[in-house]
Amino acid sequence: MSFKNTDTRTATRVLFEFAILDGRGADVGSLPLDRKGTFSPGISIMGYGGLSDWTSGGGNRGKADNCVTLTNAVAALPILSAQYASYVVKRVEYADGSSWNAPPAP
């Protein structure tokens, strides 16, 4: 996952949620990505460019911070039935103590 802070404030946390969808578009699970750090305005936070970049270990080790890792707590069935994935930014926290929350889904 690569992203850029387009706000004028420095962000300290960005919470993403990846929805896993089956072939009919039904939601079969989700994976969170909770990024904590210093995300200055206008600076791109880059993840790996692709599978070959990841497998070769290319680039900055910090790129792995932008990856979602599966653990034993995630059931295999949703992953096996996945056809599509989407994501949403759920929350952003800023260095000044303010935050932004995504509006509730309809």
In a domain? residue 94: yes
Backbone angles phi, psi at 35, to 5 degrees: -95, 125
In a domain? residue 84: yes
**What tens-digit pLDDT sequence spans the chain (106 residues)?**
788 999 999 999 999 998 888 888 888 888 888 888 899 999 888 766 665 665 666 555 555 555 555 555 555 656 667 777 788 899 999 999 999 999 987 6
In a domain? residue 106: no
In a domain? residue 65: yes
Which range marks the domain in which residue 55 is found?
3-101
C-alpha triplet 73, 68, 105: angle, nearest 5°: 85
In a domain? residue 63: yes
In a domain? residue 71: yes
Overall domain count for the chain: 1
pTM more than 0.95: no
